[in-house]
Amino acid sequence: MSQPQDFGFGEEEAMLRDAARKFLADNLPTDALHKLVADESDPHRSRDAKWQPELWQQMVELGWTMLAVPESAGGLGMNAVAVAALCEEAGRAAFPSPLLPTVNATYLLAACGSVAANASLEAIVGGASATLAITNTAGSWEEADCDVQFADGKLTGSAGFVQDAQKADYLLVKADNGNGLGLYWLARDASGVNVAADAIVDLTRDQARVVFDGAEATEVSSDAVSALGQAMPAIWTMVAADMVGAGEWELQTTAEYARTRKQFDREIGFFQAVKHPLVDGMVEIDQSRSLVYNAACAIDHEPGRATRYAHMAKSSASDMASFVSGRAVQFHGGIGFTWECYVHLYFKRQNHNAVLWGDGAWHRARLAADLMDAA
Amino acid sequence: MSQPQDFGFGEEEAMLRDAARKFLADNLPTDALHKLVADESDPHRSRDAKWQPELWQQMVELGWTMLAVPESAGGLGMNAVAVAALCEEAGRAAFPSPLLPTVNATYLLAACGSVAANASLEAIVGGASATLAITNTAGSWEEADCDVQFADGKLTGSAGFVQDAQKADYLLVKADNGNGLGLYWLARDASGVNVAADAIVDLTRDQARVVFDGAEATEVSSDAVSALGQAMPAIWTMVAADMVGAGEWELQTTAEYARTRKQFDREIGFFQAVKHPLVDGMVEIDQSRSLVYNAACAIDHEPGRATRYAHMAKSSASDMASFVSGRAVQFHGGIGFTWECYVHLYFKRQNHNAVLWGDGAWHRARLAADLMDAA
Amino acid sequence: MSENERKDTPEQAEFREYCRDWLAENAPPETSVRLPLSPLEIMTEDQLHYLQDWQRKAYDAGLVGCDYPVEVGGGGRNDCQRIANAEMQGAKTPFFPNVIGLGMAAPTVFYHAQEDKKAALLPKLFSGEEIWCQGFSEPGSGSDLASVQTFAEQKGDKWIINGHKVWTSLAHFAEWMIILLRTDKSHKYEGLSYFVVPIRSALGKGVTVRPLIKMTGETGFNEVIFDNLEVDDSYRLDAVGKGWQVAMTTLAHERGAGQLVTPQAGGRVQQREGEEETVFGAMSLVELARSSRRNGASAAEDPVIRDRIMREVIREEGFRQCRRRTRVQALTDDPMRIPLQHKLRQSEIMQDMAQLATDIEGPAASLYIDDDNAPANARWPLAYMNSFGFTIAAGTSEVQRNILGERVLGLPKSK
Amino acid sequence: MSENERKDTPEQAEFREYCRDWLAENAPPETSVRLPLSPLEIMTEDQLHYLQDWQRKAYDAGLVGCDYPVEVGGGGRNDCQRIANAEMQGAKTPFFPNVIGLGMAAPTVFYHAQEDKKAALLPKLFSGEEIWCQGFSEPGSGSDLASVQTFAEQKGDKWIINGHKVWTSLAHFAEWMIILLRTDKSHKYEGLSYFVVPIRSALGKGVTVRPLIKMTGETGFNEVIFDNLEVDDSYRLDAVGKGWQVAMTTLAHERGAGQLVTPQAGGRVQQREGEEETVFGAMSLVELARSSRRNGASAAEDPVIRDRIMREVIREEGFRQCRRRTRVQALTDDPMRIPLQHKLRQSEIMQDMAQLATDIEGPAASLYIDDDNAPANARWPLAYMNSFGFTIAAGTSEVQRNILGERVLGLPKSK
């Protein structure tokens, strides 16, 4: 099974992407975003999620939150490259929403292939948002590292680094059921669920520790390991897509500043010390972007290579995000170091994403095991 | 035991360094060096060592080849920082000679502390040169990797990557004597010794595989492991010193070219794409140089930390050498890519040194074991 | 059927099918001739003839110069060269030897030469019968092309050329050279004119071709000395003083930014057994690591080496996927953005890979091509040195970054 | 006895012994006050007062301003400040809070102010009683200092100042500001004049100090707005129009390239138990790695992380050894070469270390200072963001590279 040369990105996908770009530019331009999430500069600021639920609701009505849901479950069943394009636009707008976690939950549920999972997917079609609780409080989602137990229909234990937990309606939880790891679905506000918001750097996200104290949940898979094996490539690819969009915003915004800001009677973009690193950033962005589309395309057309290509995409995007974000602050000079300059919103989101679900080196280590040890 | 703030580099050491710099500049300026070693451009050129034995003889008479020999053996017993300064000047001149290998043999013999070793040191005082045969043909000098045996007073087996073997009068060989690893001393032209010159990239060196077929040799140490443990810091530090001197030549030569070569009606040094990497090279050179003096000083004054500091010096110098050499060729442009431009002599010597006795990453791995595992 | 194919015009669809059928029959078989990695490295007559034969066959079949008018020896088709290229690449054919002719000389001659010259020169260029080279660089003018000093003095309807060109690849095989000359010393840009000049037929009669020796000791490119070479005015391209504009046509096509698509066959080179097909051979670094020991252990077990190899594997895949993306308009905002990155990306990946390879080899990287013990026949130390040819020639990496910053990001010119 | 000590003059030797004895008695004890990493980050009155008390004691003992004449409150000694500095560093004392005063204002005032002003201003500067700040940067003039627009208009023997200065560290504690002002709009360099202006006493009377909020959410430095501040002409340093030359005195001393040695105490900051004494705390990355898990295993076991940590450990040792080497003349060809690298090297090591630390922490690097689960109290994500203050302020890293390329390597100016 080989990939279509055009990544499967046809007219329908292009229309969706363009619509999403316009929707976000119209409804949440960067100045509005800054007002929304950065009104409070105090490092001891509140941990409440800052977002616009009504904007999310409009996206639900546009059907964008069920792109990835299979048609069998009433979703649009669009290909992964279309979903990646949407995530890329969300990144470009540094959009605060449960989009990524809901997309992640969607791919994981679709990988469960159970009746119960199908019901959960229908909830997403119905407009519900969801997020994953598959990481322990030490930040690991490896098989061995699970601190949640499932017994007698109830969840006990704790999970960490749950993305956008305050924004999500449902939780998809990895838990040890005694015979192995399963996946469980429950409402975030179900009784026995305690969501303790983290104080985090990123202003466009919320994150939490979730403690389960005998919370009733539905088993959607009795084999979390194989479901995760299937879904992780999509999870890695979509966060990489978000980084690519955000990186492009940083590149264009910094280039614009370099075209206009004058020092020594010249626009600073004249100086190769500014120009050349911006070009290096562009080269990294284009590499990451191409790798994201390739990984997304593989999810639909070359599943046997999806994991490999997703490692490449996330590794490339993580390193790009760190480099481009650093240069964006540096080249904005003194102003770039202040709260009032919009750049820090992206800097923080990018550094959050860079270490989420494995940083560049972690993915390269996995890729090496795939390419070098399987011989 | 702590180090003198001035690295023990006093007036005597400064006089020696200045004399060596002048001696090499007067007797082997770069154009003469190029004529000497690069007369033949054919990649299939002869493997004969190209050097000036008479120049070496003058250095012998100046006493510079016995700087490191302890006074107890009739040498000058100068401190290691003085020896490092001499090696730095040899590197600055890309001097083809058995200096480094003889210095290495000197430190290793001094670490043997045997009567026989003392006799060998007296041979060096007498003007003999020597080189180490402690690496196997796979390039490893680790304890486990020794392909030479010693029995009934005779050596059998082979060693690889023997530096300047054609220039050295004596060989100091690591061999397995049945009870462990010992060190053995014999004349390079002794019967049963076959020196097969390698075809190598570096024009300022020669290198060989040495095959022993029952060659008589004298045991200078029955415990090669502890002798090497004592001497390796000096071996690493001195090759790093050579790289520092060569790196400085590359920096100054490239800066001079950047001050004079014009493109787009400007000296190319105007362009930050040239200026800033040259500055980065200078910063790396100064770091490496400072670390070399620190490591050399530790050999005499802080032996407990000599290994740690030598790892730092060689790691830093190896990375510096690769970076600075690459930029030297790149910034010389088309001409820098030709045989007639002197830069390639240094490029090749630096890349040879960068991987000799462990590259940057190898030394960092050892340093990590020292600093992180010994808890 | 790919998106691209779906977009084929009837003519393109029909031609695509024709190419496929013809290639199924005629794609040249594997050869014993050891092919170079790029056309610019063709050194032996054997290599040249094998590749010339292939170009001639492809030309006779109509796969070369498809979009040029019939009158000048072209195929007279509309936007079909990229179809032929895609199919030839799909069929993994060897590349064409007349790379400077097809990529730079042909469009320049076509847009700027006199009609009779087009008809006289282009057919033999397309067929590969006559190899072309380029005379732009000079000792005093590398990155700064407009500073060329090689002078052409007009004598009636002749021009007398004196001067010195360097880095002229393929000059040792070339029949013709496209050349940028100074015809007026008082104006930098307006003082330039552009000609086609004979090389082989003028050897010893005003033209001397000397191999330049690379830092590797190999001869690769040449210097060409002009000593009162007499050229007919009819070989001038466009007006006197318009040389710079003509050169822009050449450079635009060199960078893949020209109007005419360059005929390009696949890039087949010798491949190791079982080695996955790659652009630069990053996976061969894995092989190298497996066969190299880093003081006691296999380099393939060293996590730091593994990390570095994977970086290059990822960059190589990124390079391949960027090329793929350029063909999908909906996923490329600025059509020139990725093509203009091509040379920079390619040359720096090659350099970093070769350097990594020498690190993997360790002390064995000191061994050169004559040494039987050199890993991979010293391919990597050699490749590392040669990589500087690519980061320096045809616009240094520094100049490439200027071009990208200025043309794509709209930053002010650095000169 | 070190080489340096051997070179001591009798006066220096005697003074060195005096310093040692005094410090043995008077080096301040550990404090419960959590000290900042640098004087520019002093935020609380507690921090300020603890450090002011220490500076006053050191001044009273004659360890501050030793080389200035007695008439201006100095010690009247010859080249003894570096002796005091070395001994104070050896004794690991805290740093002095009046860092801008001692390093930049004092030499500038000394070389350019009227005699009576020197005597009036310098003693309280040396004692730390009056904190100083610097007014160079403006919103429109960061790297390009000579483009300042804040204007001073002469009215008789008064000057009326209007404008806006930014990035003024310590302004919230400062009594005085050294300030570069425009007194003539028609000339860029000759249009500048240099003054000392009151801050605290003029608050609400022509001067407003507002904290600038950093990307971390912290307030660190300030913006200072001048609205018709009236200053007596006697506070002008050197002639009208000579501001640029005066500023060069300031910058030379800031870069350690001035004639007067800046009084500097040790750089003691809070240290973790058992942590080896380091400049930047690279070894604390080892601790961090030991306590961090990278999906399942200890980060301290990850060879790629180990390699990266060792890079920083080596750079930190290199930084320390370069500082050591600057004091050994025979091993430094150009005396300014290493000192001019100091700021670039220091700020970039801090940045790279902080970034590495966040990579080691992985997802936990997302946690901020209020989060009880944040590793090392979120010190590293905070340090990473703050590191850009150091690579941007006081001459960006780009400007530092220009200075080094031009002053040390003699390359042509990039502006």
Asked if pLDDT for residue C41 goes beyond 80, the answer is: no
Q: Which chains touch B (3 or more CB pairs under 8 A)?
A: A, C, D
DSSP-derived secondary structure letter, B166: T
Across the B/C interface, how many CB contacts are shorter than 8 Å?
143
Asked if pLDDT for residue C272 goes beyond 80, the answer is: no
Which residue is listed with tokens 């059927």?
Answer: C1
Residue of B nearest to C137 (CA): B334
- DSSP, residue by residue, D32-89: SS---SSGGG--SHHHHHHHHHHHHHHHHTT-SSTTS-GGGT----SS-HHHHHHHHH
Distance from CA of D153 to the nearest CA of A (A): 25
CB < 8 Å to D302, chain C? 303
The closest CB to that of A333, out of D296, D374, D392, belongs to D392
Q: How many CA atoms lie within 13 A of D1 on its CB side?
A: 7
Of A278-282, A321-325, C218-222, D211-215, the least confident:
C218-222
- DSSP, residue by residue, D156-195: TTEEEEEEEEEEEETTTT-SEEEEEEES-TT-TTTTEEEE
| pLDDT the model gives residue B289 | 98
| pLDDT the model gives residue C274 | 36
Asked if pLDDT for residue C37 goes beyond 80, the answer is: no
pLDDT tens digits, residue range C323-348?
A: 999 989 999 989 899 999 999 999 99
Spatial neighbors of C44 by CB under 8 A, at least 6 apart, are none
Cα(B229)–Cα(B307) distance, integer angstroms: 8
| pLDDT the model gives residue C273 | 36
Mean pLDDT to the nearest integer, B311-318: 98
The yes-or-no answer on residue D254 being catalytic is: yes
Dihedral sign from CA coordinates of B21, B25, B31, B37: negative
| pLDDT the model gives residue D4 | 62
Q: Is C32 exposed, middle or buried (0-12, 13-18, 19+ CB in 10 A)?
A: exposed
Would you tell me how many other CB atoms lie within 10 Å of the CB of residue D29? 4
Look at residues B233, B211, B215 and name the one whose alpha carbon lies nearest to residue B160: B211
The runs of H, that is alpha helices, within C27-169 are 45-60, 81-90, 99-100, 106-112, 115-127
Distance from CA of A162 to the nearest CA of D (A): 11
Asked if pLDDT for residue C3 goes beyond 60, the answer is: no
Distance from CA of D310 to the nearest CA of B (A): 6
Angle at CA B248, nearest 5°, toward B244 and B250?
A: 115
Whether the CB-CB separation of A231 and A357 falls below 8 Å is answered with no
Residue of A nearest to B271 (CA): A272
| pLDDT the model gives residue C30 | 77
Q: Is D251 near chain A, with CB under 8 Å? A: no
The mean pLDDT of chain B is 96
Which residue is listed with tokens 């005015």?
Answer: C233
CB < 8 Å to C377, chain B? none
Spatial neighbors of B186 by CB under 8 A, at least 6 apart, are B155, B170, B171, B173, B193, B215, B216, B217, B218
CB < 8 Å to A273, chain B? 272, 276
Mean pLDDT to the nearest integer, B27-45: 94
Phi, then psi, of C381 in degrees rounded to 5:
-60, -35
DSSP-derived secondary structure letter, C138: B
Q: Is B115 exposed, middle or buried (0-12, 13-18, 19+ CB in 10 A)?
A: exposed
Q: What tens-digit pLDDT sequence spans chain D (415 residues)?
A: 555 677 789 999 999 999 999 999 998 887 777 777 677 778 788 889 999 999 999 999 999 999 999 999 999 999 999 999 989 988 888 999 999 999 999 999 999 999 999 999 999 999 999 999 999 999 888 788 889 999 999 999 999 999 999 989 899 999 999 999 999 999 999 999 999 999 999 999 999 999 999 999 988 789 999 999 999 999 999 999 999 999 999 998 887 778 888 998 865 544 433 334 445 678 899 999 999 988 678 999 999 999 999 999 999 999 999 999 998 999 998 989 999 999 999 999 999 999 999 999 999 999 999 999 999 999 999 999 999 999 998 889 999 999 999 999 999 997 6
CB < 8 Å to C303, chain D? 302-304
Residue of D nearest to A349 (CA): D366
Between D208 and C415, residue with greater pLDDT: D208
pLDDT tens digits, residue range B232-274?
A: 999 999 999 999 999 999 999 999 999 999 998 899 999 999 9
Residues 261-300 in B contacting A (C-alpha not used; CB under 8 Å): 271-273, 276
Q: Do A339 and D213 count as a contact with CB atoms less than 8 A apart?
A: yes
Q: Is D307 near chain C, with CB under 8 Å? A: yes
| pLDDT the model gives residue C141 | 83
Q: Do A273 and B271 count as a contact with CB atoms less than 8 A apart?
A: no
Q: Which chains touch D (3 or more CB pairs under 8 A)?
A: A, B, C
Residue A16: which H helix or E strand, with range? helix A11-27
Distance from CA of D305 to the nearest CA of C (A): 9
DSSP-derived secondary structure letter, C101: I
Would you tell me how many other CB atoms lie within 10 Å of the CB of residue B202? 22
| pLDDT the model gives residue C267 | 56
The mean pLDDT of chain A is 96
| pLDDT the model gives residue B86 | 98
Give me the residues paired with residue B319 across strands: none
Positions of C annotated as catalytic residues are 254
Q: Is C71 exposed, middle or buried (0-12, 13-18, 19+ CB in 10 A)?
A: exposed
Angle at CA B129, nearest 5°, toward B127 and B131?
A: 160
